[in-house]
Homo-oligomer: A and B are copies of this chain.
Amino acid sequence: MALLEAEAIPALSRLTPHLSTSYLSTSTIVTLCVFFTLLCACIVIGHLLEENRWANESITALVLGLCSGVVVLLVTKFHSTELLIFSENLFFLYLLPPIIFNAGFQVKKKQFFKNFTTILLFGVFGTVISFCTISVGAFLLIGKTGIVSLSIEDYLAIGAILSATDSVCTLQVLSQDETPLLYSIVFGEGVVNDATSIVLFNSVQTLDFSKLNAVTALKLLGTFLYLFFTSTALGIAVGLISAYIIKTLYFGRHSTDREVALMMLMAYLSYMVAELLDLSGILTIFFCGIVMSHYTWHNVTGSSRITTKHSFATISFIAETFIFLYVGMDALNIDKWKTSKASAGTSIALSSALLALVLIGRAAFVFPIANITNCIKTRGSTKIEFRSQFIIWWAGLMRGAVTIALTYNQFQKSNDTSSQECALMITSTIIVVLFSTLVFGSITKPLIEAVLLRHPKPPVSDSTNIPDDLRLLFLENEDPSDQGNNNQQFGRQSSLSLLIRYPTTTVHYFWRKFDDKFMRPVFGGRGFTRVVHGSSSGEVEEIS
């Protein structure tokens, strides 16, 4: 927010008459007033339109942002648009971390880890395939046809930029209970995809492409794997530290405010430390969120649980709304449009080309990977039907704030000689983001209803084929006090064959054993810490 002000000061000093001396600058206050009023309006209008099948919260915020952008343009008479400029720092420092942390904190861990392999395939390999397809496609479509001429780094950057999906819109439509597999794949892929494309983008910027060969490709892979594992490890470490601190310190004496403050601060700290060490803050804070919801969350009072659960969700919700509002306003940054000097034809051609690449790039990995997963899966487990594949494909067509932020990063800082083409790339990306969010976004709800609801039985269900007794044993039973009995039952049923047939479930079973024996006694977690006061079990809403 504050970064915004600094930029908005010149624009707004023209907007308002001079007021008497005060310790705050008027322009800052005007900017904050405008944004807070718009956010309130977004929430109220979004709530009113919730039942509408064409609108959703993202679209509302985007349209409201566009409208207020028009108002600002009219008021300033097209002179000044600095209020409308998108700030990368604001986005990456303050808006993205709470969204990703909340995603990790609220994720249905059971589902997420059950489909972990599939999610990684889609999120990592899929994004890499999309990155390659779009990069090559951009080189051929845009470079060869002569719309713009860019360097090889720029084409690779476009690949990374346009691989960053924004599946918020689809997730608002999918139901976590009706289609759990589909939901967890779309959700998990969304998070891993964000991280992957940002890591790819950073790798592209770091590496030297003057001698493009197999070594560079291997280096890219090495960098990527290094970032992935170290970031995950850091997130898990910070999460465990928070669990340990709260468990140790607060034993016997709880303080809701301190607990909530410590969780918030440590989550944010994990992101900052990751960025400081040049790791992927997104992956770190995501896994920190998962670990916190598994251990730390169970070590605090009942009030703290409700407070953290809802306040993280609220902060994430505000950040999301703000981003869309901001993207909408940013689209009317006319200086950029003036600099590009492009005719309407060129703009449309370029945007269409990029949009086509997005469609192709996503199709190029969703359908192959889905079918490969289906082949690998044993007869017992669920296949991803074609209908689901279509929805997964569709879910990743929207482009959002990450795309905008990375585009500015790549094309704003280029040298002056190519500024015209860079401006054109920025405006085209903005068109792609607006078009995909507004058009694809508004079709999503009717489309998914059409694809899914014609078949009243959910097309994908993750647990129908696993024998009931095994499911009960491994997945449904969450009460650790019964664990001893389960082991005995498990032994009695001589289910070695089951273990071989359901590897994911087996891993989950051994993880649970390890968790109960080594992790929970140290870090707390469900069933291990007896909350001393301020908590009654009735008060607590469960995060499953």
Contacts and interface: CB of A to CB of B under 8 A. Distances in A.
A504 interface: no
A223 to B, nearest CB: 10
A266 B40 contact: yes
Contact of A311 (B24, B48, B307): B307
A2 B43 contact: no
- Within the oligomer, what is the number of copies of this chain? 2
A425 interface: no
Interface in A207-263: 245, 249-250, 253, 255-258, 260-262
Contacts of A44: 245, 249, 262
Nearest to A23: B409
Contacts of A306: 303, 306-307, 310, 539
Interface of A: 1-3, 5-6, 19-26, 28-30, 32-33, 36-37, 39-40, 43-44, 46-48, 50, 88-90, 92-94, 202, 205-206, 245, 249-250, 253, 255-258, 260-262, 264-266, 268-269, 272-273, 275-276, 278, 303-304, 306-307, 309-311, 313-314, 317-318, 405-406, 409, 536, 538-539, 541
A250 to B, nearest CB: 8
A541 B23 CA distance: 38
A204 to B, nearest CB: 10
Nearest to A316: B257
B314 A310 contact: no
A47 B255 contact: yes
Max chain B C-beta neighbours (<10 A), residue from A5, A22, A255: A22
Contacts of A257: 310, 313-314, 317
A105 to B, nearest CB: 13
Nearest to A305: B306
Given A22-B278, A262-B44, A2 B541 contact: no
Given A1-B94, A36-B272, 17 more contacts: A19-B278, A22-B202, A23-B406, A23-B409, A24-B275, A26-B276, A28-B89, A33-B273, A40-B269, A44-B262, A257-B317, A258-B317, A261-B314, A304-B310, A306-B306, A306-B539, A307-B309
A2 B89 contact: yes
A24 B93 contact: yes
A255 B33 CA distance: 24
A2 B255 contact: no
Contacts of A307: 306-307, 309-311, 314
